[in-house]
Structure 1
Amino acid sequence: MKLLRVGPRGREKPGILDAGGVIRDVSDLVDDWDGLALDDAVLKQIRTIDLSSLPKLDPNARIGPCVADVGKFICIGLNYADHAAETGAEVPSEPVLFFKATSAICGPNDDLEIPRRSEKTDWEIELGVVIGKAAKYVSEEDALDHVAGYCVVHDVSERGFQLEGTGQWVKGKSADTFGPIGPWLVTRDEVEDPQNLSMWLDVNGEAMQRGSTSTMIFGVAHLVSYVSQFMSLQPGDILSTGTPPGVGLSMSPPKYLRAGDTVALGIEGLGLQVQRCRDAL
């Protein structure tokens, strides 16, 4: 299933995309696509419903973040061998963890704000893993049983804030609008192999990132298991799994986003995002 949320910011309704591409209103079935609704039993029940019997939602309405009330937004750095090579970094011996503030989360097509004092706002397409069942000390063999589904994440980064001062990467990762997610949460049963998905990102129509989840250093199952050894993962948490090569930081000379730029990105089977950049007010 393709789960999404539609409507003005803060007033989104839960929806589901039917086989004909029509957005159906499921607000009589679930309050929202949050951790409670992502339980396997709830999703199993929804699969038995004739979606054509549900009301339609406005196809032209804003698409919001595909998950509501995200508790943790956990990210993995340097998780693609070809991306590590382009940055000159050593391949990490274990996953590199950092957090994005959940206040960075926005809809997939909302404007992307260039922060005040920013000179190095960069792009990163990533596969997002959405937790559906609490995970604590889970094995790699059982890890995918705790996944509700997958989505496109744009891990926008301000490289000066991230790398040139003191402190942690979170400063360069957490500005408002730096975490577009969606358009859909595609449930686990519809993604045959999360380690074989093509991904791409363009800026102003120019190809920047082209890659595949097949070049991940640490795969999805390993990451879910690994993170669960240090903290419990709760339903609705998002794990963003790293980016393939082609980020602006690694170009010669580096390229960064400016107000007026348009970023388009997508992952095979998981949908498309398009953001217009503007200066933060």
Structure 2
Amino acid sequence: MRFVRLGEPGAERPAVLDDAGQAHDLTPLTPDIDGRFLAGDGIAAVRRALAAGDLPRVETAGVRLGPPLARPGAVLCVGMNYAAHAAESGGAPPEQPVIFFKTPNTVVGAFDEVLIPRGAEKTDWEVELAVVIGRRARYLDSPDEALSYVAGYTVSNDVSERAFQTEHSGGQWSKGKCCETFNPLGPYLVTADEVPDPQALRLRSFVNGEVRQDSSTADMIFPVAELVHHLSQYLVLEPGDVINTGTPEGVALSGRFPYLAAGDVMEIEIEGLGRQRQVLAAA
């Protein structure tokens, strides 16, 4: 199934898309797509209601697609999780996952405007597979059980301001990662059963119609199951938390492409999960 949230910012309504792409209203079952819904076996309840024909149809034409998950409790990010990206960033592949956070208020819809912050010099794109946690994960025994804690997957653009990230950082990355609108998410939350192998997905990014990144999640240094297990040893993952799993080579930081400017158009996509499009504007 594919979950969406429809409407203007702060007033989104939850919906699910059936196999024909028709949207069905979820407000009879839940006020939103969030951690409480996921932890309360909401996906199974929607599947039953959809099969029974109990969910009213809703129109999507001309309606904004918000992020498919209501404001997450945490957005955890994995740095340099593709060897070629680590190399273009000037570093060796990490021996353990490199973790940083984005503030939850960076999350916007897949087609929302992205704002270049004041004083920015090096704004960059990053297509990433995002993992949405479905139940509380604490001290998992092994990666073998980790995927059972995943509710689904979505597309994430880990927008970054590289000057803030490296030159203004004081040794950490958050200043370049937490600017407003810096995490477009969606368009859909695709349930885990529809993604049998998260390590076999093609992911691409484009700027003004030109290809920038074209890779596969097979090239991750630390696969999804290992990341979920690893994180559970250091923190508690809660339902509705998001993990951005890293980006492949082909970003502006490589020096091969210009950084973003107002008026540029970013498009990113992951096989089976959908496509995003954002126009950049000055904050």
Q: If the length of structure 2 is used for normalisation, what is the TM-score? A: 0.96
Instruction: Tell me, yes or no, if structure 1 residue 273 matches structure 2 residue 268.
Output: no
* Residue equivalent to 1:95: 97
* Residue equivalent to 1:194: 198
* Residue equivalent to 2:47: 47
2:231 corresponds to which of 227, 234, 243: 227
* Residue equivalent to 1:242: 246
Q: Aligned runs of 1:156-195 on 2, under 5 Å? A: 156-165=159-168, 166-195=170-199
Q: Aligned runs of 1:65-104 on 2, under 5 Å? A: 65-104=67-106
Residues 181-234 of structure 1: CA deviation (Å, up to 9, x unaligned): 110010000001000000000000011011100000000000000011110000
What is the count of residue pairs matched by the alignment?
A: 279
Q: Is the 8 A contact 1:195 1:220 kept in 2?
A: yes
Could you tell me which amino acid in structure 2 is paired with residue 209 of structure 1? Q
Q: Distance in 1 between matches of 2:208 and 2:7?
A: 27
1:210 corresponds to which of 211, 214, 237: 214
Residues 1-30 of structure 1: CA deviation (Å, up to 9, x unaligned): 101101000000001111111121111111
* Residue equivalent to 2:158: 155
* Residue equivalent to 2:7: 7
Q: Distance in 2 between matches of 1:133 and 1:176?
A: 28
Give the CA deviation at 1:55. 2.4
Partner-residue secondary structure (3-state), 2:229: helix
Q: Distance in 2 between matches of 1:86 and 1:231?
A: 30
Give the CA deviation at 1:40. 6.5
* Residue equivalent to 1:119: 121
Instruction: Tell me, yes or no, if structure 1 residue 133 matches structure 2 residue 135.
Output: yes
Residues 54-80 of structure 1: CA deviation (Å, up to 9, x unaligned): 221333200001111300000000001
Q: Distance in 1 between matches of 2:9 and 2:271?
A: 27
Q: Is the 8 A contact 1:136 1:231 kept in 2?
A: yes
Give the CA deviation at 1:122. 0.2
* Residue equivalent to 1:105: 107
* Residue equivalent to 2:32: 32
* Residue equivalent to 1:57: 59
Q: Distance in 2 between matches of 1:59 and 1:237?
A: 29
Could you tell me which amino acid in structure 1 is paired with residue 48 of structure 2? T
Q: Gaps (5+ residues) in structure 2?
A: none
Instruction: Tell me, yes or no, if structure 1 residue 259 matches structure 2 residue 259.
Output: no
Residues 107-150 of structure 1: CA deviation (Å, up to 9, x unaligned): 11000100001110000000000000000001211111110000
Q: Distance in 2 between matches of 1:104 and 1:167?
A: 21
Q: Is the 8 A contact 2:71 2:105 kept in 1?
A: no
Could you tell me which amino acid in structure 2 is paired with residue 23 of structure 1? A
Partner-residue secondary structure (3-state), 2:36: coil
Give the CA deviation at 1:50. 3.1
Q: Gaps (5+ residues) in structure 1?
A: none
Q: Is the 8 A contact 1:153 1:181 kept in 2?
A: yes
Could you tell me which amino acid in structure 1 is paired with residue 11 of structure 2? R
